[in-house]
Chains A and B, each alone.
Chain A
Amino acid sequence: DGGITQSPKYLFRKEGQNVTLSCEQNLNHDAMYWYRQDPGQGLRLIYYSHIVNDFQKGDIAEGYSVSREKKESFPLTVTSAQKNPTAFYLCASSQGVPYNSPLHFGNGTRLTVT
Chain B
Amino acid sequence: AQTVTQSQPEMSVQEAETVTLSCTYDTSESDYYLFWYKQPPSRQMILVIRQEAYKQQNATENRFSVNFQKAAKSFSLKISDSQLGDAAMYFCAWGAQKLVFGQGTRLTINP
Contacts and interface: CB of A to CB of B under 8 A. Distances in A.
Interface of A: 33, 35, 40-45, 48, 58, 88, 90, 92, 97-100, 102-103, 105, 107-108
Interface of B: 4, 6, 9, 31-33, 35, 42-45, 47, 50, 91, 95-104
Contacts of A105: 44-45
Contact of B103 (A40, A58, A88, A107): A40
A74 to B, nearest CB: 14
A contact patch SS:
loop
A99 B31 contact: yes
A73 B87 CA distance: 32
B contact patch SS:
loop
Given A41-B103, A42-B104, A43-B91, A100 B43 contact: no
Contact of A98 (B4, B31, B44, B98): B98
B99 A45 contact: yes
What 9 A-B pairs come out closest when comparing CB atoms? A98-B95, A105-B45, A42-B101, A43-B101, A98-B99, A42-B103, A102-B47, A99-B96, A42-B102
B91 A42 contact: yes
A100 B44 CA distance: 21
A74 B98 CA distance: 16
A102 B35 contact: yes
A103 B43 contact: no
B5 to A, nearest CB: 10
Given A42-B91, A90-B45, A108-B43, A103 B99 contact: yes
25 contacts: A33-B99, A40-B9, A40-B104, A41-B103, A41-B104, A42-B4, A42-B104, A43-B91, A44-B101, A48-B98, A58-B98, A97-B96, A97-B97, A97-B98, A98-B35, A98-B95, A98-B97, A98-B99, A99-B31, A99-B32, A99-B97, A102-B35, A102-B47, A103-B47, A108-B44
